[in-house]
Amino acid sequence: MPEVTFGEVIQFENRNSEDLSNKLEKVIKNEIDFQNKERKDFSKEKITSDMLSLYKEVLGGNNEFNKR
């Protein structure tokens, strides 16, 4: 879930407590490498800007969709 996970993370199988337990044990024993996840920008300003750009592209006629 990019909206809640960033920085140094370890992924485990959803709803699998055994997998989570195994990963935590490896963390404690320093036997696992963390993945570095970039923080995503889900701000209102970013979403608004992206949606406006998409609308302009679709409605502007400069795309394959409007050429059909």
For residue range 21-68, what is the model confidence (pLDDT) as tens digits?
999 999 999 998 888 888 888 889 999 999 999 999 888 866 565 555
Cα–Cα distance measured from residue 17 to residue 22, given in angstroms and rounded to the nearest whole number: 9
Are 3 and 33 part of one and the same domain? yes
Domain extent, residue 28, equals 1-37
- Residues 7, 21 within the same domain: yes
pTM attached to this predicted model: 0.51
Work out the burial of residue 55: count CB atoms within 10 Å of its CB; fewer than 13 is exposed, 13-18 middle, 19 or more buried.
Answer: exposed
| 32 DSSP 8-state letter | S
pLDDT at 48: 94
For residue 25, the model assigns a pLDDT of 95
* Residues 14 and 45 both lie in one domain: no
* 8 and 31, same domain (yes or no): yes
Residues 4 and 30 in one domain: yes
The number of angstroms, rounded, from the C-alpha of 65 to the middle of its chain's C-alpha atoms is 27
pLDDT computed for residue 65 by the predictor: 57
Residue 1 clears pLDDT 80, i.e. is over it: no
Number of domains in the chain: 2
Same domain, 17 and 46: no
